[in-house]
Amino acid sequence: MLADLVERSAELKGALVAFAQSARFDRWLTPLLLEAAGPERRLEEAEAVRIIDHFILRYRLPDGSTVVDRFVAGRRDLTEVERELLLGWRDPVEGIFEIRRKDGGAVVLLNLVDDLEYRTYSNAGRAAFHGVSSGGFLLTCLVPLVPAEGSWLVSGTMEYYPKSSAREIARAALQLAVSEPQLVFRNPEKIEQGWQQMREERAAFVEFCGDDELVLSPAEVEDLLNAYYRHHQEAALAAHPDRARDGRLPGADFPAFELPPDLADADTVGVIYDEIDGLNFYADYGMLRDLFADPDLTGRRVHQDLLRTYLREESIAPLPIRRLAAAHPETADTVFRRLLRKPGFSWAEHGEELLRRRKPRYYAQEPRPGVSVIGERLGELVADGRRLPGARRGPRP
Q: What is the CATH number of the domain that holds 160?
A: 2.40.50
Point out the least confidently predicted range of 31-40, 171-180, 214-223, 382-391. Answer: 382-391
Asked if residue 28 is part of any domain, the answer here is: yes
Whether 257 and 237 share a structural domain: yes
Whether 166 and 260 share a structural domain: no
Asked if residue 380 is part of any domain, the answer here is: no
Domain encompassing residue 264: 188-364
Whether 9 and 26 share a structural domain: yes
Whether 15 and 79 share a structural domain: yes
Whether 142 and 165 share a structural domain: yes
Whether 156 and 283 share a structural domain: no
Task: Give 251-310 pLDDT, tens digit per residue.
Answer: 445 557 899 999 999 999 999 999 999 999 999 999 999 999 999 998 999 999 999 999
pLDDT bracket for residue 23 (50, 70, 90): very high
User: What does the pLDDT average to over 47-53?
Assistant: 94
Distance of CA 160 to CAs 71, 137, 395, Å?
31, 6, 10
| Number of structural domains in the chain | 3
In DSSP notation, 46-94 reads HHHHHHHHHHHHTPPPTTS--HHHHHHHH-TT--HHHHHHHHHTTS-EE
Asked if residue 35 is part of any domain, the answer here is: yes
Torsion, Cα of 113, 114, 118, 124 (10° steps): -40
pLDDT bracket for residue 342 (50, 70, 90): very high
Whether 207 and 113 share a structural domain: no
DSSP E strands, 201-295: 213-216, 269-274, 278-283
pTM: 0.74
Task: Give 134-179 pLDDT, tens digit per residue.
Answer: 999 999 999 999 888 899 999 998 999 999 999 899 989 988 988 8
pLDDT of amino acid 246: 52
Point out the least confidently predicted range of 94-103, 177-186, 251-260, 331-340. Answer: 251-260
| Number of other CB atoms surrounding residue 302 within 10 Å | 10
Whether 211 and 288 share a structural domain: yes
Asked if residue 21 is part of any domain, the answer here is: yes
pLDDT bracket for residue 395 (50, 70, 90): very low
Whether 97 and 125 share a structural domain: yes
Whether 181 and 196 share a structural domain: no
How many Å apart are CA 231 and CA 237, to the nearest integer? 10
Give yes or no for residue 394 having a pLDDT over 70. Answer: no
Asked if residue 343 is part of any domain, the answer here is: yes
More confident: 1 or 81: 81
Asked if residue 374 is part of any domain, the answer here is: no
Asked if residue 345 is part of any domain, the answer here is: yes
pLDDT of amino acid 148: 85
> Of 29, 59, 88, which marks where a domain is finished?
88
Burial of residue 19, with CB atoms counted within 10 A of its CB: 0-12 exposed, 13-18 middle, 19 or more buried: middle
Whether 129 and 171 share a structural domain: yes
> Of 88, 118, 151, which marks where a domain is finished?
88
In three-state secondary structure terms, 33 is helix
The average confidence (pLDDT) of the chain is 90
- Is residue 96 within 8 A of residue 107, CB to CB? The reply is no
Whether 62 and 101 share a structural domain: no
- Is residue 93 within 8 A of residue 109, CB to CB? The reply is no
Give yes or no for residue 120 having a pLDDT over 70. Answer: yes
- Is residue 154 within 8 A of residue 120, CB to CB? The reply is yes
User: What does the pLDDT average to over 186-201?
Assistant: 93
What stretch of H or E contains 154? strand 151-161
> Of 43, 58, 88, which marks where a domain is finished?
88
The single-letter DSSP state of residue 255 is P
Asked if residue 205 is part of any domain, the answer here is: yes
pLDDT bracket for residue 233 (50, 70, 90): confident
